[in-house]
Structure 1
Amino acid sequence: MGTKIRQENPDACISCNICLTACPVAKASRLYRGPKLNGPALTRMRKLVDDDDAVVKYCSNCKNCDRVCPSGTSISAFNMKARYEYFKHHEHDPADLILSNNENMGKLMTSIPFVSATCANLGMKVAGKIGVLGKMGLGNEAPLPSYATMNFATRFKLYKQPSCTTKVLFFPGCYVNYNAPDVGMALVEILNRNNIEVIVDKRLSCCGSPILSTGYLDKVEKHAVSNVKVLAEYAKQGIDIVTTCTTCSLFLKQEYEELFNIKEVEDYKDHVWDTSEYLMMRNAKGMLVKSFGTIKKNVAYHTACHLKVQGFGRPSLDLLKFVPGVEVEDLQAGCCGLSGVYGYKKETAPIGRVIGTTLREKLTASEADVGLSECNICRLQMENGTGKKAIHPLMLLRDSYRKRADG
């Protein structure tokens, strides 16, 4: 494990332009001048003069620039810090407030199981059709995620786990908590079958990704400080931390340290795992339970940008090789374009749609029954107009375990 060492000095950038060739936004729109100029170059300039350029809003924070940078410059972090500085002198639109508050909105929308979420989802559909969302700065290029009728925290409390010697802490994040609790429950069931007990700590909050994307860097720092303290507690006890979201794991291991220089991240980051990565690690030690039943399904896999940048391969594909009957097509489609909240803002949604064209076209043309990706937002883009459903790889793994158990 471990992440690439990042350079916090803008002068580490050697102006080679490789980041420009890797940037999906720069390829899709001339409105954005590219990661290097918007990041390290203007960071140096801002030390001398005030820069008041709205172009800082066009970075999607996909981090492909960081992934290819030969000098390890934290290009995306410079971009995000520049966005924060811009909004110190400019007002946020209502869309920023809505999109940055998925956790608080989720708590409200799932507060009454089966009632509040149903009303909220219907309300969003009506608001979209009559143009209210557009007036608030939200685009219509992709459907907004719906809220679950019962959130993950409630479902987890109702679930009876076996007592196991090995325990892990699950970081669900706001999306699994309020939009996709099925993914979280699949993780619990899979780990239980592998003789692992799952812990959920209510002190953990959203990793901060949607908040960062909308320019509220100071609010992200509060989440970071709080989460780091909790995660370090578990790591000191030798308890590993698992996630189902590649963006969450990236934030916990890398973004907090890059953005805020929080040294305590070092205390736990080697204990943070993507769930598939964690299971493959156990497989290498001969500890993976392989009682998999046959699943006759063709799936089309999309590699999320925030998975690529972490550099630990594609463990979900390795895991699925153990499942009889599953045929996997690798879409190799680049960035999905939604990039967290990027594809939902009226200003950037058209760019996000252009970026995601390759993914949608490839999935539409594929003979696969269903799309597959670890990233919550990538799955939404995969479903956007393709007529196909997209699921987390863990859902297939859970179904395979169940099929074998049912005989």
Structure 2
Amino acid sequence: MAEAIGLKVDPPRFWDPADLRQETDRIFDVCHSCRLCFKFCGSFPLLFELIDEKTETLRRDYLEAHPEVAAAAARRREEAAAAPPPPEEEHGEVGVTFGDELPELTAHVRDLADGEIDRVVDLCFQCKLCYPNCPYTPPHEFAIDFPRLLLRWKAHRVRRRGVPLKTRLMRDTALIGKSASLVPGLANWSLRNPLVRRVMATVARIHPEKVMPTYYGETFPRWWRRHRPNLESLQPPREGIEPATPVKVVLFSTCVVDYNDPDCGKAAVHVLEHNGIEVVRPAQQVCCGMPFLDEGDLDAAANRLRKNVDALLPWVERGHAVVVPSPSCSLMLREELPQLVATERAARLAASTHDLNEYLYRFAREGRLKRDFQRRFAKIRYHVPCHIRVQNVGIRGRDLLRLVADEVEVVQECSGHDGTWSMHVDHFKDSLRWGKKAFDGMRGLEEETCTLTCSDCGLAALHIRQGSGSSCVHPVMALAHAYGFDIGAPGQFDSKPVTP
């Protein structure tokens, strides 16, 4: 069974520059031959264009140096045009060549300079959709893992050059969130002030038009410290069902929820406790490390993952499941953690981690999710984040929303955001182009009533608001509202009462 090296940093070959270049040449050549993934990001079109241009240059230079080849091809064409048409074959077609096919002058990835590969790498925003769509991923013998190959290339670059200043300014989302929450009014005013944004464009390379997250004085960790558990009774499972889903969870709340969407964290706690599920939130948890991984700083990402193993695994060993309300962060704990931190403890934590919607869906499938909803929506548009699709756990946000809506319209298109990539001055316009289909799908009609737009990913929701004007909430907020909890801003939800 073939296996990609991915982000397995312990084998010596991972950090071998010659091995990296050999693997890059191999995988890029397969992608250049296949071309299935041209539509996912700018990396693929640029890769194909670079190689095709070199092929054209090789052939043009050869024909200029050998005019007799071009002349012979011209004669063959003239002869073919003057000759009577060939008899039709009963089965298949007849190929006719004219002498100008030059396969020996085809360019390959090995002809690209490292700087050209850097350009391909930097256009990838790690949506990772090429991976589930690729026919050559492991266990296929080609063992293609394009997203992780590009992260490996970035990791080598960081080892050689260090982390750029603009990256250092942008990547520590927890530190930024903690600082901004001390003066949220000033922070939010600054992020909307044109003069400040021009300075940010120069210093941090953040595009002045990019809509930025909102910060709150009452962060989710502060609310949690004041929260007193309100654990309600468990609903028994359906007859004949042997329940397997733990009724105790440890909430890995994520930086986005902690500092930019605390209502999502509150809603998660309300929904879980309403269904008799005990919730804990260890204060020792830190950022999942995704912002560090995306920029190629694997050491910094692994350090944060190890801290989370230490914070979360003791609860797993007491019978808790780990639930995560942000798909990028659940992807990090479920799939990247076992590669970056190759220990038995890390593997156990990864196996016990669930996306929040996936966990609630499992609970519902056992018949234990309560249906005592007080409100309902006529229609919900639900955006499926790329990092949910990559985890291959099903579209569980949609399945849960069907419990509280007459109709759920699913939009499976990339928002084009990816962490800080879309914020960068060099990528902002491209990010809007890559997210256009998602924006069009999530844009509502003025005459619609009792409707809602949802996305599991807070950053995707931010970019959807940028591109469509629609404000999305996490599906768990829709559930909390339907249960009757006072969640979100006044007037945020347009719903209708449940009729007996």
> Which TM bucket (shorter chain)?
0.7 to 0.9
Aligned residue in 1 for 2:439 = 360
Q: Does the alignment pair 1:214 with 2:230?
A: no
1:139 is displaced (CA, Å) by: 1.6
**1:24 aligns to what SS in structure 2?**
coil
Aligned equivalent of 2:358: 277
Residue in structure 1 matched with residue 154 of structure 2 by the alignment: 83
Report 1:8-407 matches (<5 A): 8=5, 10=23, 15=30, 21=37, 24-26=40-42, 30-31=45-46, 51-52=114-115, 53-55=117-119, 56-69=121-134, 70-72=136-138, 73-90=144-161, 92-110=163-181, 112=182, 116-126=183-193, 131-136=198-203, 137-163=205-231, 166-323=247-404, 325-332=405-412, 334-364=413-443, 369-402=451-484
Correspondence for 2:94: none
Partner of 1:37: none
Cα distance between partner residues in 2 of 1:314 and 1:163: 28
Secondary structure of 1:398's aligned partner:
helix
From the superposition, tell whether residues 180 and 65 of structure 1 become closer, same or farther in structure 2 (CA, over 3 Å). same
Alpha-carbon spacing, 1:162–1:321, altered in 2? closer, same or farther (3 Å): same
Q: CA offsets, 1:2-26, max 9 Å, x none?
A: xxx9621759959255575165213
Cα distance in structure 2, aligned partners of 1:23 and 1:100: 27
Matched AA of 2:128: K
Looking at structure 1, the residues matched to 430 and 313 of structure 2 have their Cα atoms a distance apart, in angstroms, of 38
Name the SS of the counterpart of 1:125 in structure 2.
Answer: coil
SS in 1 for 2:41: helix
Aligned AA (1:60):
F
What secondary structure does 1:15 align onto?
helix
What code does the residue aligned with 1:86 have?
Answer: R
Question: Counterpart of 1:76 in structure 2: which amino acid?
Answer: P
Give yes or no for contact 2:334–2:350 (8 Å, CA) kept in 1.
Answer: yes
Cα 1:340/1:262, change in 2 over 3 Å: farther
Query: Conserved in 2, the CA contact under 8 Å of 1:77 and 1:258?
Result: no
Quick check: which has more Rg, 1 or 2? 2
> What TM-score do the two structures reach when normalised by structure 1?
0.85
Give the deviation of 1:273 after TM superposition. Answer: 1.3
CA gap 1:346/1:89 in 2 versus in 1, 3 angstroms:
farther
Higher mean displacement: 198-207 or 73-82: 73-82
User: Aligned in 2, Cα 1:339/1:282: closer, same or farther, shift over 3 Å?
Assistant: same
| Cα gap change, 1:224 to 1:141, in 2 (>3 Å) | same
- Residues 294-303 or 352-361, more deviating: 294-303
Q: Secondary structure at the match of 1:215?
A: coil
Alpha-carbon offset, residue 389 of structure 1: 1.3
Superposition deviation, residue 258 in structure 1: 2.9
Select the structure with the greater relative contact order (CA < 8 A; seq sep ≥ 6): 1
Report if aligned partners of 1:8, 1:258 keep a CA contact under 8 Å in 2: no
Residue 384 of structure 1 aligns to a residue whose secondary structure is helix
Counterpart-to-counterpart distance in 2, 1:262 and 1:26 = 35
User: Residue 330 of structure 1 aligns to a residue in which SS?
Assistant: strand
Distance in 2 (CA, whole Å) between partners of 1:386 and 1:335 is 14
Alpha carbons of structure 1 residues 128 and 184: separation in structure 2 relative to 1, 3 Å: farther
Farther off after superposition, 394-403 or 17-26: 17-26
CA contact (8 A) 2:380 2:407 kept: yes
Task: After superposing the two structures, state which structure 1 stretch, 352-361 or 207-216, moved more.
Answer: 207-216
The amino acid that maps onto 1:384 is: Q
Identity over aligned pairs, percent: 24
Contact 1:32 1:59 in 2 (8 A): no
CA deviation map 1:223-260 (0-9, x unaligned)? 11111233322222221010111111100010122344
Unpaired segments of 5 or more residues in structure 1? 35-43
Cα offsets for 1:299-318 (capped at 9, x unmatched)? 21111110001111111111
Structure 1 residues 160 and 326 mapped into 2: Cα distance closer, same or farther (>3 Å)?
A: farther
User: Structure 2 length as normaliser, TM-score?
Assistant: 0.70
The alignment partner of 1:371 has SS state of: strand
CA 157–130 in structure 1, closer or farther in 2 if over 3 Å, else same: closer
Aligned-partner Cα distance in 2 for 1:281–1:128: 49
Q: Residue 391 of structure 2: SS of its match in structure 1? A: coil
Report if aligned partners of 1:95, 1:345 keep a CA contact under 8 Å in 2: no
Q: How far did residue 371 of structure 1 move?
A: 2.1
Report deviation, 1:127.
Answer: 5.2
User: 1:325-384: CA deviations, max 9, x gaps?
Assistant: 44321223x211011111011122222111011111222365664321101111011111
Q: Is the 8 A contact 1:151 1:177 kept in 2?
A: yes
- What is the SS of the residue equivalent to 1:88? helix
Check whether the contact 1:66–1:74 (CA below 8 A) recurs between aligned residues. yes
8 Å CA contact 2:131, 2:137 repeated in 1: no
- Could you tell me whether the CA contact under 8 Å between 1:23 and 1:64 is conserved in 2? no
